[in-house]
Amino acid sequence: MSSITKLPVRSVEPITDDLPGWVKQEGSPSMSTWIEYTAPDESMIAGWWTATPGTYHATYASWEFIHLIEGKAIITPEGGESVEVGPGDAFVIEADFVGTWEIIEPILKHFTIRMK
């Protein structure tokens, strides 16, 4: 049986701790995460994420689909080229990504993460 789950708008209490694998590098950025959906088999989560300006070094264990609603960031994989993202951009960060998120303007994004 298939179903459709409409995500509410930040209806649960946010997680305000930095995500595992995310370490502040520059400035005093902060983040909040709202997990609005977890698949019954726990293979996927989806929700909202906000972050304030500053730089995080990030290590990803799983792939993530992102639709950026507000803000601007420069994402740089270690040994790779920087990609600037802004409002309306949709992109995927692959599992095992290691690099930086330089948050230029406050971020609001939808995300879907496939859990390993």
Domains of the chain listed by start with CATH number? 22-114 (2.60.120.10)
Q: Where does the pLDDT of residue 2 fall: very low under 50, low under 70, confident under 90, or very high at 90 and above?
A: low
pLDDT in tens, 15-59: 999 999 999 999 999 999 999 999 999 999 999 999 999 999 999
- DSSP states along the chain: -----PPPSS-SPPB-SPPTTEEEEES---EEEEEEEE-TTSSEEEEEEEE-SEEEEEE-SS-EEEEEEEEEEEEEETTS--EEE-TT-EEEE-TT-EEEEEEEEEEEEEEEEE--
pLDDT in tens, 85-113: 999 999 999 999 999 999 999 999 999 99
pTM here is 0.89
Residue 116: per-residue pLDDT: 64
Residue 80: per-residue pLDDT: 96
